[in-house]
Structure 1
Amino acid sequence: MAGFVTDWLNLAIRWFHVVAAIAWIGESFYFVALDNSLKKPKDAPLAARGVSGELWHVHGGGFYNMQKYMVAPPALPDHLHWSKWPSYTTWMSGFALFTVLYLFAPDTYLIDRNVLDMGPVVAIASALGFLAAGWIVYDALCRVFGSNDRLLGLCVGAYVLAAIWLACHVFAGRAAYLIVGAMLATIMSANVFFVIIPGQRKMVDAMLKRQTPDPIYGKRGKQRSVHNTYFTLPVVFAMLSNHYAMTYAHPYNWAVLALIMLAGALIRQFFVMRHRGEARWYLPASGIALVLVALVWTMPRSVAPQAQAAQASALHVADIAPILQGRCVACHSAHPSLMGSAPAGVVFDTHEQIEQNAQRIYQQAVQLKSMPLGNVTHMTDDERAKLAAWFEAGAQQ
């Protein structure tokens, strides 16, 4: 029953998290596109009122005129829209999902003793510390190098690369990818909570006191907002990566993640420049090239010599069923003991079900070695070789 309840919590929180993320990313992308599409106003009275840029939209049967003030308008309207709650709800729901799935089962999801042998308490503390340290170090870099956007960008890029390497040498590959994504998402939401919104409040407060707002708050908010937009596609990949074991199960999974995240940032840069009227096609081309490099690099290698050494004669389902019974059915059965329900609905209770899932077994347990998850049931190399011999001999029943 506990597993069943956990699965429903997973469903509810994940659904809410995705909806909140769509709202936040959509709003963020819109404002980045708007900011980069603004044109200097031709109307002299607009410029005299402090309008630095405007953009006309036609959408949904109506015309919209968006205007941006360099610092602030001469007088505040009665109602201001604050872009903050989509960010906060995305982070809170994401952290709740991370808690339910990973922190409640550290032995299964966080720990791979082939990567680092640690206990569940240490694993949980390390994961939480990773998120906190991610923001602290990033914020320090911004405060020290914030006056030079190019230098700061290089420092943040180097820091993210170091974080990727460290995470992949501390946590199980699947968890490492997610934690790096969660670290970047934490930075994004913290930028909104600690920098962007407080700066905007100070500007509003100054206007209410009939004072001229300090433009530094707008500059800092813009800088952090730019960082957020480049983090977005890398974070989205990290959140989806648990479905693609060929990436996080690779021996150099940290480099694979770095390539794909860089590809996402380059593709995002293309759209940012596109909104400015500049079509730099080398950016998406470079991003696609990096993804292709990752594809070729992660391509499975044949294990036929291993399989032949393990078993010269053809094997049948009955020969490998005990391996699956001891190592896999704790999750992949009609009534699993480690989870509320079988992942992806894959079960190995009968010989027919094993034969139907032969390709999955071979790919996940032999080629990628991503299953059992975190090798929590301690499948041996000899057992993997026997599974390979069975599959390569035709996966006979």
Structure 2
Amino acid sequence: MEAYIMEWLYVLVRWLHVITAVAWIGASFYFVWLDNSLQSPKDKDLQDKGVDGELWAVHGGGFYNPQKYLTAPEKLPKKLHWFYWESYSTWMSGFALFLLVYLLNAQVYLIDPNLLPMSPTQAIVTALGFLAGGWFVYDLMCRIFGFRNLALGIAVSLFIGIATYGACQIFPGRAAFLIVGAMMATMMSANVLFVIIPGQKRVTAAMRAGEPVDPIYGQRGKQRSVHNTYFTLPVLFCMLSNHFGVMYRDANNWLVLILMMIAGVLIRQFFLLKHRGQTNWYFPASGIAVMALVFFWMSPIASQTDAPAKLVRGSVSTEEAFAVVQKRCYGCHAYNPTMMGGAPAPKGIVFESPEDLRKHASAVISQTVQLKTMPLGNITQMTDEERQLIQAWFQQNMSH
């Protein structure tokens, strides 16, 4: 019953996280597009009111005319819509999922003894340190560099690269990718919480009190908003890629992640320029080229995949292969798992009988031999000889 409840909890929290992320990213992308698509008004009445840009649009059978003021209208309406709960709810639901899956199962997901032996408590504290420390360093750099945007952009990029390398030296690849994404997502949401919304509230309060508005708040908010839009595609890649072992299995997985994040930034830059009426195909072409480079760099070589099985002499029975799988995988892949805090078997795959091994043979050979992403963090210490035995069994019994 506990596993059943946990499975529902995982589904509902993940669903909530995806919904809120769609709302946040959708609103963010829309306003970036809107900012870059506004045109100076020709109507003198709008100019006199302080309207700096406007846009006419049609959607859903209706016509819309959003307008942006140079500073603000002379008189604020009583009701203003604030865009911040999308950000907060995305971060909170994401952290809840991080807690349920990773922090409560630190021994399985956060620790690889071959990288850095840690206790679960040390792993949890270190992971949380990346989230909090990432925001602290990033915010400090923003304050030091101010509006020297090029220098700040280079500094932030270098910091994220260093953090990516560090995470991949401390945590298993799957966890490292997620933690880097969570660190950047924390920066994004903290930008909204500590900079953008407080600045907007100060501007609003000054206007209602009839006091002059300090433009610095708008400038800071705009700067952090621009950072957030460049972070978006790299964060999404981090969150999705940890579900695909091919992305983080390489010994230089930190470089894989950095290159894929660069590709995301290049592609995002294309759309940002396109919103302004500039079409520069160099950026998406460069992004695709970077992804192609990663693809061919990490592509498996047939001889490397097939050679290990030749080391196994004689016939390997299903019972022999099943014994290895039960010894190394059964703790998680069982009807009543003894690992992962009672969480249900990943993807519903269980190994209760040799027939289960035959049923899931393709997944087993992919994850344990080709990608070597299972067992997670190799927590049960599956040996190379055992992987070779499983491959030999597959070739002899399942590959024809």
Smaller-chain TM-score bracket = over 0.9
Give the residue type in structure 1 aligned to 2:188: M
Partner of 1:39: 39
Do the aligned residues in 1 keep the contact of 2:174 with 2:243 (CA within 8 Å)? Answer: no
Secondary structure at the aligned position of 1:308 is classed as: helix
Unaligned 5+ runs, structure 2: none
For 1:247 and 1:330, the matched residues in 2 are separated by 25
Secondary structure at the aligned position of 2:212 is classed as: coil
Query: Following superposition, which runs of at least 4 residues in structure 1 exceed 6 angstroms of deviation?
Result: none
Partner of 1:91: 91
Partner of 2:367: 364
For 2:208 and 2:334, the matched residues in 1 are separated by 64
Do the aligned residues in 2 keep the contact of 1:364 with 1:370 (CA within 8 Å)? Answer: yes
Partner of 2:262: 262
Partner of 1:152: 152
Measured against aligned partners, the alpha-carbon deviations of 1:248-289 in whole angstroms (never above 9, x if no partner) come to: 111111011111111111111111111111111121111112
Measured against aligned partners, the alpha-carbon deviations of 1:303-327 in whole angstroms (never above 9, x if no partner) come to: 3332212x12232212211100101
For 1:384 and 1:97, the matched residues in 2 are separated by 32
Secondary structure at the aligned position of 1:303 is classed as: helix
How is 1:247-258 mapped onto 2 (pairs within 5 angstroms)?
A: 247-258=247-258
For 1:81 and 1:151, the matched residues in 2 are separated by 34
Partner of 2:317: 316
Partner of 1:388: 391
How is 1:184-223 mapped onto 2 (pairs within 5 angstroms)?
A: 184-223=184-223
For 2:16 and 2:164, the matched residues in 1 are separated by 27
Do the aligned residues in 2 keep the contact of 1:390 with 1:396 (CA within 8 Å)? Answer: no
For 2:70 and 2:89, the matched residues in 1 are separated by 30
For 1:154 and 1:138, the matched residues in 2 are separated by 12
Counterparts in 2 of 1:109 and 1:71: CA distance versus 1, 3 Å: same
How is 1:320-359 mapped onto 2 (pairs within 5 angstroms)?
A: 320-338=321-339, 339-359=342-362
For 2:48 and 2:241, the matched residues in 1 are separated by 50
Partner of 1:179: 179
Residue 396 of structure 1, CA deviation = 7.3
Measured against aligned partners, the alpha-carbon deviations of 1:172-201 in whole angstroms (never above 9, x if no partner) come to: 111101000000110000000000001001
The range that moved more, 281-290 or 194-203, is: 281-290
How is 1:214-253 mapped onto 2 (pairs within 5 angstroms)?
A: 214-253=214-253
Give the residue type in structure 1 aligned to 2:387: R
How is 1:47-126 mapped onto 2 (pairs within 5 angstroms)?
A: 47-126=47-126
1:304 correspondence with 2:306: yes
Give the residue type in structure 2 aligned to 1:392: Q
Give the residue type in structure 2 aligned to 1:372: P
Measured against aligned partners, the alpha-carbon deviations of 1:91-148 in whole angstroms (never above 9, x if no partner) come to: 1111111111111110011111111111111100001111000000000111111221
How is 1:7-22 mapped onto 2 (pairs within 5 angstroms)?
A: 7-22=7-22
For 2:99 and 2:238, the matched residues in 1 are separated by 16
Root-mean-square deviation over aligned CA pairs: 1.5
Secondary structure at the aligned position of 1:315 is classed as: coil
Counterparts in 2 of 1:396 and 1:25: CA distance versus 1, 3 Å: closer
For 2:247 and 2:231, the matched residues in 1 are separated by 19
How many pairs are equivalent? 396
Unaligned 5+ runs, structure 1: none
Secondary structure at the aligned position of 1:58 is classed as: strand
Measured against aligned partners, the alpha-carbon deviations of 1:200-232 in whole angstroms (never above 9, x if no partner) come to: 011111111112211111111011001101111
Partner of 2:4: 4
Do the aligned residues in 2 keep the contact of 1:112 with 1:375 (CA within 8 Å)? Answer: yes
Secondary structure at the aligned position of 1:68 is classed as: strand
For 1:393 and 1:159, the matched residues in 2 are separated by 49
Do the aligned residues in 2 keep the contact of 1:355 with 1:396 (CA within 8 Å)? Answer: no
Give the residue type in structure 2 aligned to 1:395: M
For 2:70 and 2:155, the matched residues in 1 are separated by 28
Give aligned-pair identity as a percent: 53
For 2:300 and 2:27, the matched residues in 1 are separated by 40
TM-score, normalisation: structure 1: 0.96
Secondary structure at the aligned position of 1:234 is classed as: helix
Secondary structure at the aligned position of 2:55 is classed as: strand
For 2:68 and 2:399, the matched residues in 1 are separated by 68
Give the residue type in structure 2 aligned to 1:7: E
For 1:178 and 1:8, the matched residues in 2 are separated by 22
For 1:139 and 1:21, the matched residues in 2 are separated by 23
Secondary structure at the aligned position of 1:112 is classed as: coil
The range that moved more, 62-71 or 121-130, is: 62-71
For 2:36 and 2:210, the matched residues in 1 are separated by 30
Counterparts in 2 of 1:184 and 1:396: CA distance versus 1, 3 Å: closer
The range that moved more, 143-152 or 344-353, is: 344-353
For 1:23 and 1:207, the matched residues in 2 are separated by 29
Within the candidate set 376, 381, 390, 2:379 is matched to 376
Secondary structure at the aligned position of 1:52 is classed as: strand
Residue 394 of structure 1, CA deviation = 4.5
Do the aligned residues in 1 keep the contact of 2:263 with 2:290 (CA within 8 Å)? Answer: yes
